[in-house]
Amino acid sequence: MKSRSRIIRWGGLVAAVGVAWALSLGTARAGDTKPYKGTLMDETLVTLLNPGALPQPFFEQARAAHGPELLSGVVHLYTQSNVGGKGTAFGFEAVHAYPAGPKGIIAYLMGTETTANGDKLTWAGTIIHQLDGSYVTDIKFVPDQSTGRFAGATGVIYSMRPFPGGADLEGTITTVGATK
């Protein structure tokens, strides 16, 4: 009888630890850093802009570093990510001459993804086009321009793999207000 009672107690303990471990796998607490995986799809150029038309300080710094843009515009995309689900995005792009780059250009990007519930995740940075069609990226999330569960979010997109009409993104994100 004692041995059966001991087995039941140990079995219950093991089961409780297993359930706690399984529940902890699917959630991230506020402040946790986790992988960011996203896809930008069906990129559509909404409008071309005149050089100097993007007034944000980010684009003014690009003009100061590289001169006037060769091309700039507003784009619309559909998005899917592991942190926001399905959504839409709009973005600004400015392409500058960059003789140090393999293809001679650098693109400055700023975009905002809006998820189905209205939360916004904003990112900004640069991509340098490589000869093999890939990009070298330096893109960061913009904490003071993100809202809802993404307000205050920080992190980076360290990989952008293009495909016709879009790109796959990978990086890390740390959220302040999210629980999953």
Q: Which position has the higher pLDDT, 19 or 143?
A: 143
Domain ranges in the chain are 28-174
How many Å separate Cα 136 from the centre of its chain?
15
Residue, of 28 and 99, whose pLDDT is higher? 99
Task: Say which CATH architecture domain 28-174 belongs to.
Answer: Beta Barrel (2.40)
pLDDT value at position 147? 93
What is the phi/psi pair of residue 17, to 5°?
A: -65, -40
The pLDDT tens digits of the residues spanning 124-161 come to 999 999 998 889 999 999 999 999 989 999 999 999 98
Q: Which two tokens stand for residue 138?
A: 């330096």
pLDDT tens-digit readout, 21-52: 333 334 445 678 999 999 999 888 889 999 99
Place of tokens 């140090």: 100
Examine the pLDDT at 123 and tell me if it is beyond 90: yes
Q: What are phi and psi of 150, to 5 degrees?
A: -95, 0
d(CA 174, CA 180): 11
Q: Which of 7-16, 77-86, 96-105, 141-150 has the lowest mean pLDDT?
A: 7-16
Structure tokens at 105: 């250009």
Q: Measured between alpha carbons, how far is 13 from 32 in angstroms, rounded to an integer?
A: 28
| Mean pLDDT, residues 53-75 taken together | 94
SS (H, E, C) 112-151: EEEECCCCEEEEEEEEEECCCCCEEEEEEECHHHCCHHHC
Query: In the predicted model, what is the mean pLDDT of the chain?
Result: 83
Report residue 170 as tokens.
């990978």
Contacts of 32 (CB under 8 A, 6+ apart): 174, 175
Q: Is the dihedral of CA 125, 129, 133, 136 positive or negative?
A: negative
More confident residue, 82 or 26: 82
CB of 32 closer than 8 Å to CB of 173: no
Nearest in space to 157 (alpha carbons), one of 32, 36, 34: 36
Closest alpha carbon to 161 in 34, 41, 77, 35: 41
